[in-house]
Chain A
């Protein structure tokens, strides 16, 4: 397959994935035990209210008609109306999604800034104390639930040292970066641990690869070898890993946003569960899955750009 062909095939792959995501979220909403409408209205619903909501949600129609209507609405970016906010779901999500994206983006940057240098230090001091210390800290990090890491940072840096705000979100960009720093650091921790572990292993592997021996035999200084050969190869693996973990980052963002009261889609999701705001939950599940599949796509493209062997 040519490189162009590979690219086209990969881009087309996204279409069935998106359709299936739509199908799964549709089925999910229909899985409610008992009646969705009674679940939403609780015991307070009069017969009239029940009939009205049933009609409003289109639940009195044939299931196939409902599915077509649902997919059609999705194509037009219509997710219905929030039961708790009495506002279009699309609007609610559009308002909060940038916050979550910024949080996740910051977390990726922080994870890379932590993981890359520490992985080099660990690999170059393999089995000596810096390596052991770095690995122990990250092993503990991997065993810590994200909400607990968040509470620890919150207690130490916000409550005791008062260096960072306790939660919320600012108005200006600088203020937002400041408010999101602790949540992003929290979210970054487990990703950094995974990246560090894999990067360390691949640096160790690359250090013993033949092309590095060859570079050394050519008389290249070891700093040049590290930067040009080892780092480049190790980075390809890192990009792939970051892409693969976008899903768990977004899942982590749900928890982190709840801990730090960040007004993103994750917090909206948790709030919607307690408000029984099913249209919002359904739409968010769909939007987040679409985000992850787009992230997978971007990962593949970046990987192709970095590694000329793919699709060649």
Chain B
């Protein structure tokens, strides 16, 4: 009974992610219509059996457009988190093991970055670099690495003080071998669990920037961009903006349920 309780959210999360992955991998097979095909016989058609999410002002099928956008949003979930993971993880690994001045400098700098509202700093950097997906990834990496570095640093410090590291040192292993072969695999687990939950936030951030016009640029299909396209039809044809959002919420749920489930399963403290 206990096992089932722990795993139910995890299974639900993984199922949602599997569906989204299928959308992203085979949009052409799953989508009922051509996502950019105009249909002038069904303009602003409300949701129905033939168009479950309705159609927009050009008669494009919203469900097909939503499915076609999955690729970019899943790409955002990966690229907007892996950059911060690699940068922050390396820095955290280094300062956690080295300690001393490096750690003190890192501590002050991390405190400072946290003072900037995350979204405001990301938007400011995107403003400097110019709107677009690549620049959004750069901006998120510039700001998001701190969380990973802090987490990794804490874990490394715990591992560093453990007996097996002392034993490895007594055996005469080199520092690099101890850090990479022994400390890193043990310290990485909570960081990787955090990565999964962070992907939920990345999707929310990516779609928010897309909505504001700072992320993915039209005509690229991205959920936030789709919603922005539909916002002028809110009173007339609310489905254009509201249905793609359901998928964003599901994607967010999928990643956060999976993250929480993994944390429980692997007994990671949060």
Contact = CB atoms under 8 A, between A and B. Distances in A.
Interface of A: 17, 20-21, 24, 28-29, 31-33, 139-140, 142-148, 151-152, 154-155, 159-160, 246-248, 250-252, 254-255, 258, 269-270, 272-274, 278, 281-282, 284-285, 288-289, 292-293, 296
A24 B113 CA distance: 9
Nearest to A291: B117
Contacts of A31: 128
A274 B213 contact: yes
30 contacts: A17-B112, A17-B115, A20-B112, A21-B116, A139-B253, A142-B256, A143-B256, A144-B245, A145-B207, A145-B224, A146-B204, A147-B207, A147-B208, A147-B211, A148-B248, A151-B241, A151-B242, A152-B245, A155-B242, A246-B117, A247-B115, A247-B118, A250-B120, A270-B212, A273-B214, A281-B127, A282-B124, A285-B124, A288-B116, A288-B120
A147 B121 contact: no
Contacts of B224: 145, 147
A289 B115 contact: yes
A162 to B, nearest CB: 10
Contacts of A258: 212
A146 B208 contact: yes
Instruction: State the majority secondary structure of interface residues on B.
Output: helix
A145 B204 contact: yes
A220 B115 CA distance: 43
Contacts, number: 139
Pick the most buried of B115, B126, B131, B211: most chain A CB atoms within 10 A of its CB. Answer: B115
A178 B187 CA distance: 50
Interface string B203-235: 010011001111000000000100100010011
A21 B109 CA distance: 11
Contacts of A252: 119
B146 to A, nearest CB: 12
B200 interface: yes
B234 A159 contact: yes
B238 interface: yes
Interface pairs A-B: 8 shortest CB-CB: A251-B119, A143-B252, A247-B117, A159-B235, A148-B245, A273-B127, A285-B124, A251-B117
